[in-house]
Amino acid sequence: MSQLGIPQIKESAALTREVLEQHFNDLKGTLRKLLDERLVLLLQEVDAIEQESIKPLDECQKLIEHGVSTADDLLQEGECVIHGVMGEQNEKLCSFTKKALHIQLDSLPEVPALVDVPCLSAQLDDCLLTIVKNQIFNHGTVASRPPVQIEELTEKPGGILVRWCKVDDDFIPQDYRLQSRKSTAHHFEDVYVGSEMEFIVLQIDPNVDYQFRVCARGDGRQEWSPWSIPQTGRSTLVPHEWTAGLEGYSLSSRRNIALRNDSQSCGGVLYSKAPTYFCGQTLTFRIEAVGQLDKRDSIGVCVEQQNGYDSLQRDKAVCISTNGAVFVNGKEMTNQLPAVTCGSTVTFDMEVVHLGPNNNEGGSFKLRVTISSNNREVVFDWVLDHSCGSLYFGCSFSYPGWKVLVF
């Protein structure tokens, strides 16, 4: 028996190595990029301070050099005047004197003191390496026992109900994360994140294996726990589908969502493609969008398709209206459920409670029916004149805007 767990250990160990190597390679690349970006910013700051500090000093130096050059030229010109020809001295001396009066040799700019000149240096905190080192040494853990595990996989028509449970009593969960993948796929994909401990995964192809895994996030934490052991499940049940082609209704690609469109004419009740609901199962309708209420609206199940009716409020059918009224074989019950709203889930559960003896009228067949909606339910017996192995489901809406998902 111990050998049965060896492949699981080897597979999870190999996957863990792959995840660790990929994570730390990504981390090294990110850290290198961040360090390079920080270095570029600091070098740009050095360049900016250097240019800003040198510019006024350059201007001051140019002014000084210009003043010295002007004074030197004037000095040379004065020497020429002194050593010049006597007849020309008076004229050149007059010109030299005028030029000397217009040149301000005593107006050179003030040279800043050396203590006022910037002196750049790099200020680097040596403790950063210690902090980063401590963070890296404490980064990541390897866990061998996840705090949550998948408890049960239940097949549904076109879906699988996944339930999970907490296996670590000390772990306080805040959220759960459920992933799935086809057996032929390489990567898992998120299908649910929330606080519930069960979820129906829809869009499931019948007779195809799917793998599921779940993890949790501790209270006040950001990181997710290790994944649970992957569990494999499949649904052999035929998906519920609405009948295509009825005027007044538009269907999704998988035909499990019906939308009452803006068509002025409606063909009456939209039935299921086939009688795919069996006693002992739970039939669920989820209201994805709502329109205007009408007392003739209906959502429910019936023995057979009957054209010519605008509602399931008729014989051989049980249904709930959008205002919450419950009808059995066309008669309204005293008990009533809340009106359906956007996001409401209406469920039908049935079980056989009595199969009467045959008589001249064909005998009787009794089903115990439970209809639930908005945390309330009604329970009653539905009497039929003959046994039914499977039932149709249907809906009818007088006004556009209603959208119903069935599963």
Higher pLDDT, 314 or 89: 314
Q: Read off the pLDDT of each residue in 376-401 and give the average, rounded to a whole number.
A: 92
Domain with CATH 2.60.120.920 in the chain: 249-406
Torsion of CA 185, 190, 191, 197, to 10 degrees: 120
Distances (CA, A) of 339 to 253, 314, 374, 375: 29, 20, 9, 12
- Residue spans in the chain of domains classed CATH 2.60.40.10: 148-235
With beta carbons less than 8 A apart as the criterion, state whether 374 and 282 touch.
no
- H/E segment holding residue 35: helix 6-82
The answer to whether 237 and 155 are in contact (CB under 8 A) is yes
Superfamily of domain 249-406: SPRY domain (2.60.120.920)
Residue 360's pLDDT band (cuts 50, 70, 90): very low
**Residue reference for tokens 């006597």:** 86
Handedness of CA 338, 341, 345, 350 (dihedral sign): positive
Model pLDDT, residue 2? 45
Instruction: Report residue 273 as tokens.
Output: 């493609």
How large is the average pLDDT for residues 184-203? 93
Determine how many CB atoms are found less than 10 A away from the CB of residue 201.
21
Which pLDDT does position 359 carry in this prediction? 44
Q: What per-residue confidence (pLDDT) applies to 264?
A: 77
* CATH of 148-235 among 1.20.120.80, 3.30.590.10, 2.60.40.10, 2.40.170.20: 2.60.40.10
Residues 330 and 318: beta-carbon distance below 8 Å: no
Q: What is the pLDDT of residue 165?
A: 95
Task: Give the DSSP per-residue string, 267-304.
Answer: -S-EEBSS--B-TTSEEEEEEEE-----TT-EEEEESS
**Residue in the structure block whose two tokens are 């999870």:** 12
User: What six digits make up the tokens of 48?
Assistant: 């900016």
> Does the reported pTM lie above 0.85?
no
Cα gap 218→232, rounded to integer Å: 26
Residue 63 CB coordination number (10 Å): 13
Average pLDDT over residues 42-47: 92
Q: Cα separations (Å) of 316 from 46, 264, 319?
A: 87, 28, 10
pLDDT at 328 over 70: yes
Greater model confidence, 118 or 407: 407
pLDDT in tens, 53-78: 887 777 777 777 777 777 777 777 77
Average pLDDT of span 37-66: 84
Q: Minimum mean pLDDT among 27-31, 99-103, 360-364: which range? A: 360-364
Of residues 36 and 117, which shows the higher confidence score? Answer: 36
